[in-house]
Structure 1
């Protein structure tokens, strides 16, 4: 049997989520003369079953099973031992190779015999396969001399893109003594010995960035320190050989530069930490004085920390939670500057006391004085509850609270960054509330990815949001050819992509689709100038009756967000029989069934979203019977799933357990 031209080498450890997509991207290459060596590095999930299934269908796949996890360097070296192709192509179990990748790289290697390694450029994708950006160092270094000059500073070669001569790979192998960047170590060793590393200036691989990826974990946990350690180990090994080169000298110079920057950063951190502690202590002292001036017994042991009181779905939910226990006279703190205070009144029912501390929190050292004062008032209680939602200030308080204080965190959705900020504080949080099943899954996956003790995942509690749903279906009295009312309710923030709604309105006008686009919220600036004439801007609405009337008159609720949990506005719209036409993100697909109670649009490119939604609006304008059916189904779903009569009792139980 003749040897294959290329050996594709892939190591996998517990990679079930993206493994099929990675395997198929290799099996579907236009170049087919390869063997696919997959090393299962001690996986404990369904990875072995997936691999066996593919191997039984394609004889190009060769499986190597390692019983105990050895790490990526040792696993890849196992694969190198059995590789028989002239070239080795690397692949990662969560990435996607474009169909012509192997063909283009093989052609390059055959035409450039002096080249030892050829890489390609990458595009970064998220966990759903959407392109989210590019690697800056990758873009800056596409020529041989650029790569060679840049490598002593930082890595600029994406490991899963490379094709390397097998003889070179087997000669050098991966350094199993390198705890982190084994690929970067290999590039340094190759360049030090005069081997050429080149790059095809074209994206031929999609590199996934997600909480379980090696790259993500490296970026999130001290990349500078790991970069320093990798260079130090490389230089130590080179010194042992007594064969130093000018390239090694450049690595040493940049190592010294990295060390000086790292040490300066540490010094700055310790100075800042010292001042922080000093100002927090000052806050303690001020708090003690204030406690003597004001009668402490009049203050509730329940403390809420929310970011804003401006108009928004999250703010409505926060107000609902506070009002569930308004009888206990809780204290509510707003920690960020709100765009307006139009929803502040929602928090002021009953005996709730409100403090806007955003002015102090946003000034660095006043921030710490403010923390000190609040900590004194919280810790005075023999039992107390501190409840935070979407709030970094809340996380900073946790380390200073006494053990008798119950700490509750509310997380609406992933993607805003707070899920990462909260990681160091997971063990200090007694209960983490999530509002939808997607966030529940994402949070548990994050814990697993970071090796967080599984017992902390048991502290996660699901309490879904509620909306008022009319007892009777609000029939839409609309004539057959009357224009559709397409509604958006929400913010004009970047992730909402409201500009797409403006472009959809323009395209519908050009296509003569009878549709009127009504936008509620602070969204005027989010819509492009050329599209505004096709939209009606209602501005921000605080009166429930007025907003309910708009819902009652609307036919379609449109949403183009790039990330979401389950928007409250979507729930309210469905409660009024408004048909959702929404992008398939977050927890939305859990509740919207395509062509049953709404339409789901794939979260593809912006142009694809615009075109898909235009076609859906065209169909609904021509098929009013379908529109009525979807409207009734949307209402029925809201009636059965969004009322949540136990909403208040669930929050009361969790919060009041801390003071009973």
Structure 2
């Protein structure tokens, strides 16, 4: 049994697969097993993985061509894992050399955490850095942020495997099971990672490290680029499901998180309403009661207060005040900017209806 099993799903990903595998082989920590989960590739990805296995038996190919979506494929990977920690890696990303060592140290320092993530560079198809991907640091920030956006970079994350078994962690399913069965969400794809880590975060079992662990590749074939609107709609459904579970768990009044979400760097047009300060006060009270007071929570609430208006001038003024007090993270500014330019030709708002209690 290796300490780390790495789940690497692939379907026709030969273009970047060698770089992804090589970055695992270059880790300073060497007690690992790489499980390449093939989803019916026809471009030579399977053959490439087999060739790597011939050179390094720690690399294993497993074919699941009939798995139901990415959730099903990753669950197949969880079924065959046998390890202390299970790590995610994508077929087009690059692990930084210390990723496993840093992640292991974090798990050892935080025995209460079921999942650990970190920060990432963003690179283009050619491997050139084009940006940074920054997410909340610390479990309190991750928990609060999880109701409004995905606070974890999925291919930079790892799970404590005994917690996976104990909690029944699966992709795409409601493992909290605090809602009536007819209200429980299923997420076969598009945002299955958000649903999994969001549920763990609501339980206070996820943290992010300040270190960069990954080079995340952004190109036209990313799901986030190819099926953007569908992904945003699914992400909002997850936010609402997580919020209902959170409020049920803590016996506090439900609130609609939609006005305060910034999934994918956008603000939703929620029923055409322009001011959500009253709704913000209810939401902030719920989070303080459920998560308990903390500096980390107040930082998260500061941003949610910023975007509780849809008036352009007020929104910009609030954001400028916010950034004088806090370092913005990925999608903080882009959500504000996107709303401000929504009336330009070719731009559109993503409109959603308010959800009733």
Corresponding residue to 1:254 among 252, 257, 271: 257
Shift of 1:249: 6.2
- Give the match's secondary structure for 1:114: coil
SS of 1:127's partner is coil
When normalised by structure 1's length, the TM-score is 0.37
Please give the per-residue CA displacement for 1:96-138, whole angstroms capped at 9, x wherever unaligned: 0001100110111112211211101011110011111123xx3
Q: Does 1:147 align with 2:145?
A: no
Match of 1:181 in 2: 191
Q: Give the aligned length.
A: 261
Residues 645-660 of structure 1: pairs in structure 2 closer than 5 A? none
The secondary structure found in structure 1 opposite 2:114 is strand
> What is the deviation of 1:221?
3.2
Match of 1:160 in 2: 155
Q: Give the 3 Å change call, closer, same or farther, for CA 247–72 of structure 1 in structure 2.
A: farther
From the superposition, tell whether residues 92 and 101 of structure 1 become closer, same or farther in structure 2 (CA, over 3 Å): same
SS in 2 for 1:105: helix
SS of equivalent to 1:164:
strand
Equivalent residues in 2 for 1:219-618 (5 A)? Answer: 220-232=228-240, 234=242, 238=245, 244-246=248-250, 252-255=255-258, 261-264=268-271
Could you list the per-position Cα deviations for residues 581-616 of structure 1 after superposition, in whole angstroms to 9, with x for gaps in the alignment?
xxxxxxxxxxxxxxxxxxxxxxxxxxxxxxxxxxxx
Change beyond 3 A, Cα 1:253–1:235: closer
Q: Please report how far the alpha carbon of residue 258 of structure 1 lies from its aligned counterpart in structure 2 after TM superposition.
A: 5.4
2:320 maps to: none
Quote the residue 2:89 is aligned against: 91
The equivalent residue for 1:578 is none
Give the match's secondary structure for 1:244.
Answer: helix
Work out the CA distance in 2 between the residues paired with 1:248 and 1:165: 30
Name the CA shift for 1:255/1:32 in 2 (closer, same or farther; >3 Å).
Answer: same
Cross-structure match for 2:48? 50
* Preserved contact between residue 180 and residue 230 of structure 1 (Cα < 8 Å): no
| Counterpart residue number, 1:212 | 221
- Provide the residue aligned with 1:172 in structure 2: 169
Work out whether residues 94 and 213 of structure 1, in 8 Å CA contact, stay in contact via their aligned partners in 2: no
Compared with structure 1, are the counterparts of its residues 45 and 266 closer, same or farther at alpha carbon in structure 2 (3 Å cutoff)? farther
Larger of the two Rg values belongs to structure:
1
Q: Secondary structure at the match of 2:248?
A: coil
SS at structure 2 position matched to 1:253: coil
The 1-side partners of 2:172 and 2:74 are apart by 10
CA contact (8 A) 1:42 1:69 kept: no
| TM-score, scaled relative to structure 2 | 0.66
User: Cα gap change, 1:65/1:248 in structure 2, threshold over 3 Å: closer, same or farther?
Assistant: farther
- Structure 1: segments with no counterpart, 5+ residues: 268-363, 368-391, 393-660
Aligned Cα RMSD in Å? 3.1
Displacement over 6 Å in runs of 4+: 247-250
Q: Which has the higher contact order (CA 8 A, sep 6+)?
A: 2
Aligned to 2:208: 199
What do residues 423-469 of structure 1 show as CA deviations (whole Å, max 9, x unaligned)? Answer: xxxxxxxxxxxxxxxxxxxxxxxxxxxxxxxxxxxxxxxxxxxxxxx
Once the two structures are superposed, residues 35-81 of structure 1 have per-residue CA deviations (whole angstroms, 9 ceiling, x without a partner) of 11110011121111111111111110121102335321100110101
Provide the secondary structure at the position in 1 that maps to 2:76.
Answer: helix
Does the aligned pair in 1 maintain the 2:96–2:215 contact within 8 Å?
yes
CA distance in 2, matches of 1:59, 1:247: 51
Tell me: CA distance 1:249–1:217, structure 2 relative to 1, closer, same or farther (3 Å).
Answer: farther
Retained in 1: the 8 A contact 2:190–2:234? yes
Distance 2:253 2:54 in 1: 50
SS in 1 for 2:256: helix
Instruction: Tell me the distance in 2 between the aligned counterparts of 1:257 and 1:197.
Output: 21
CA distance in 2: counterparts of 1:166 and 1:196, whole angstroms:
13
Aligned pair 1:78/2:81, yes or no?
no
